[in-house]
């Protein structure tokens, strides 16, 4: 079974989109946590920001929501301070749909979990290949989910984490397609180099990194695509938890056919009772 699945994976055309990175503790100017997602996808849909108020007993969350193909919650911050962002694993849409997976995993974690520890304890939901980067006020964590219910977790309260769209954990690299995955590997090396080049970071510096076009239309952190229909960067989502100062959210949305829009919000404004 496993051999047959791997054979199919190796023959299929992979999907490559999104760059995730975060810093915590001593790697953030003033301490706390910074987390970023650059969302890359085909320019065939619209994204919106929305506040979701689940049923009583669950947490409200503010999210970047994509309409259209492969729609849903792509990044979110809940009222307890948990941040959840995701990136696609290197499989085609048909492959992903053929594998058992937890639907709407991002939304579930945001509605049910108060912090990183609680999210990482939700192992029964870790089905369906994808990469998740999580954060709360004191910790960041990377969750890499492979086929067959396999997963790997890396977490830290002082350091950096980053990921693109191919497996890097030793227990999961077998699931990478037999392809070069050029863009994913180029962006992985680029963000890794930037994070290694400085001891501490600010939100402004992470926003500048997210906007970088160094590397060309397909391999930069902010991708423009070689053709009008090519995969490109459609949004940036940055959350900062600042000790004693609360939570700040920065979002840049580049919907197809629209002007680029930037938003700066604070948690009290987002979750104020209406």
Q: Six-digit token pair at 97?
A: 């749909």
Q: What pLDDT band is residue 10 in, cutting at 50, 70 and 90?
A: very low
Q: What is the pLDDT of residues 80-93, one digit of tens each?
A: 999 999 999 999 88
> pLDDT value at position 273?
65
Over range 22-47, report the average pLDDT: 97
Answer whether residue 190 shows pLDDT above 90.
yes
Q: Six-digit token pair at 131?
A: 């990469």
Q: Of all helices (H) and strands (E), which one includes residue 87?
A: strand 83-88
Going from N- to C-terminal start, the domains of the chain cover 2-270
Q: Is 19 helix (H, G, I), strand (E, B) or coil?
A: strand
> pLDDT value at position 2?
40
Of 76, 104, 29, 79, the closest CA to residue 239 belongs to 76
Mean pLDDT value across the chain: 92
Neighbours of 274 (CB within 10 A): 5
The conformational region for residue 221 under phi > 0 = left, psi -120 to 50 = alpha, else beta, is: alpha
How many angstroms separate the CA atoms of 243 and 34, rounded?
12
Q: Six-digit token pair at 134?
A: 């999580």
Answer whether residue 1 shows pLDDT above 50.
no
How many angstroms separate the CA atoms of 70 and 48, rounded?
14
> pLDDT value at position 69?
77
Q: What would be the CATH architecture of the domain defined by 2-270?
A: 4-Layer Sandwich (3.60)
Helix count and strand count (H, E) for the chain? 7, 13
Of 259, 224, 225, 229, the closest CA to residue 44 belongs to 229
> pLDDT value at position 7?
35
Over range 130-145, report the average pLDDT: 98
Over range 32-58, report the average pLDDT: 95
């Amino acid at each position: 079974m496993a051999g047959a699945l791997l054979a199919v994976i190796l023959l299929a055309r992979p999907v490559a989109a999104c760059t995730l990175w975060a810093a915590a503790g001593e790697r953030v100017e003033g301490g706390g946590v910074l987390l970023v997602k650059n969302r890359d996808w085909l320019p065939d849909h619209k994204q919106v920001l929305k506040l979701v108020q689940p049923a009583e007993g669950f947490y409200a969350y503010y999210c970047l929501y994509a309409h259209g193909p492969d729609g849903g919650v792509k990044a979110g911050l809940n009222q307890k301070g948990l941040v959840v962002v995701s990136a696609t694993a290197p499989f085609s849409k048909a492959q992903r749909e053929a594998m058992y997976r937890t639907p709407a995993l991002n939304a579930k974690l945001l509605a049910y979990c108060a912090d990183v520890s609680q999210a990482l304890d939700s192992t029964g939901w870790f089905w369906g290949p994808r990469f998740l980067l999580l954060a709360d006020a004191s910790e960041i964590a990377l969750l890499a989910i492979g086929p067959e219910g396999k997963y790997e977790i890396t977490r830290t309260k002082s350091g950096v984490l980053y990921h693109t769209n191919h497996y890097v954990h030793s227990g999961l690299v077998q699931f990478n397609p037999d392809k070069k995955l050029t863009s994913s590997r180029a962006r992985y090396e680029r963000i890794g180099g930037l994070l290694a080049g400085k001891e501490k970071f600010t939100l402004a510096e992470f926003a500048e990194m997210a906007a970088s076009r160094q590397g060309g239309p397909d391999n930069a952190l902010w991708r423009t695509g070689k053709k009008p229909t090519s995969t490109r960067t459609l949004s940036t989502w940055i959350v900062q938890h600042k000790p004693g100062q609360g939570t700040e959210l920065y979002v840049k949305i580049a919907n197809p056919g629209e002007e680029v829009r930037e938003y700066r919000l604070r948690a009290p404004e987002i979750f104020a009772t209406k």
